[in-house]
């Protein structure tokens, strides 16, 4: 199955593949299946787009997916940028997230959705413009209400798989930029230290003032770090 693709920027620019999180929308990052199936979908999409090898950017689940791709098909990944990746989450965290997904979150209008996100402080440092862009990715249901475009059943399956161990970190030795939110608990200190130990000089860690959504909270700092990393 070929994934939905958004292309941004000049056609003559450098190709970078970006993979968003479980409930993410491509418009914010300018679907879903178990890891093994999703890896197949990513490869199929890359082949259809004529991308044999590229730098990869992965946010949250997209970060774990990029790690899995690197471990299974190293030739495709030139270098790796990870935004607060879901390397491995505790069972209690997965349970809490899947429980949240059981409720139907919807909004009567884009304005209501934007105000709801701002009030939630899910990304407390994000400007309103970020949520306006995010709202462009909402879809209208048969009841006329707006929702995020993802399958709750698939997302629940993915959270259960994120409890499993990631690929051996010493098998992921390519130049890697790890960007973490200072106020996000997702990447633990133990995971960071293990990653540093296994990757050594291949790993650069940047911490930004952010919760989990580092792009929303610290877009300028994140963009600057990626630009410098890819220029090397």
- The one-digit pLDDT tens for each residue of the chain (232 residues) are 677 676 655 455 567 777 766 655 554 444 334 677 778 888 989 999 999 999 999 999 999 999 999 999 999 999 999 999 999 999 999 999 999 988 899 999 999 999 999 999 999 999 999 999 999 999 999 999 999 998 888 888 889 889 999 999 999 999 999 999 999 999 999 999 999 999 999 999 999 999 999 999 999 999 999 999 999 9
Exposed, middle or buried by CB within 10 Å (0-12, 13-18, 19+), for 151?
middle
Q: Determine the 3-state secondary structure of 30 from DSSP.
A: coil
Residue 30 within a domain: yes
Domain with residue 223: its CATH number is 3.40.50.1820
Terminal-residue alpha carbon distance, the chain: 34
Residue 108 within a domain: no
**Cβ-based neighbours of 77, under 8 Å, separated by 6 or more:** 53, 54, 55, 56, 66, 69, 70, 174
Residue 21 within a domain: yes
d(CA 177, CA 157): 28
Residue 73 within a domain: yes
Residue 110 within a domain: no
Residue 2 within a domain: no
User: Residue 10 has what pLDDT?
Assistant: 47
The alpha-carbon radius of gyration of the chain (Å, integer) is: 17
Instruction: Show the domain range for 72.
Output: 17-99+151-230
Vertex 141, ends 136 and 146: CA angle to 5°? 40
Backbone φ and ψ for 147, nearest 5 degrees, come out as -145, 160
- The domain total for the chain is 1
Q: Tokens in use for 116?
A: 């709801």
d(CA 26, CA 7): 10
**Of 205, 213, 224, which is closest to residue 127 (Cα–Cα)?**
213
Residue 82 within a domain: yes
Residue 79 within a domain: yes
């Amino acid at each position: 199955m070929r994934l939905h693709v958004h292309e941004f920027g000049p056609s003559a620019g450098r190709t970078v593949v970006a993979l968003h999180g479980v409930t993410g929308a491509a418009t914010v990052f300018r679907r879903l299946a178990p890891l093994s199936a999703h890896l197949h979908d990513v490869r199929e999409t890359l082949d259809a787009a004529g991308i044999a090898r590229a730098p990869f950017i992965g946010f949250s689940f997209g970060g774990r997916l990029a790690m899995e791709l690197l471990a299974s098909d190293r030739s495709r990944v030139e270098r790796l940028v990870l935004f607060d990746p879901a390397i491995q989450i505790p069972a209690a965290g997965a349970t809490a997230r899947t429980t949240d997904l059981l409720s139907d979150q919807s909004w009567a209008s884009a304005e209501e959705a934007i105000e709801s996100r701002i009030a939630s402080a899910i990304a407390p440092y994000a400007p309103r413009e970020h949520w306006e862009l995010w709202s462009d990715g909402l879809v209208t249901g048969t009841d006329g209400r707006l929702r995020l475009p993802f399958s709750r059943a698939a997302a629940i399956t993915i959270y259960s798989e994120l409890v499993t161990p990631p690929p051996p970190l010493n098998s992921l030795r390519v130049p890697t930029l790890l960007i973490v939110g200072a106020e996000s608990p997702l990447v633990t200190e133990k995971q960071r230290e293990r990653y540093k130990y296994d990757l050594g000089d291949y790993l650069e860690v940047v911490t930004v003032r952010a919760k989990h959504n580092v792009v929303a909270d610290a877009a300028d700092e994140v963009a600057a770090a990626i630009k410098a990393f890819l220029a090397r």
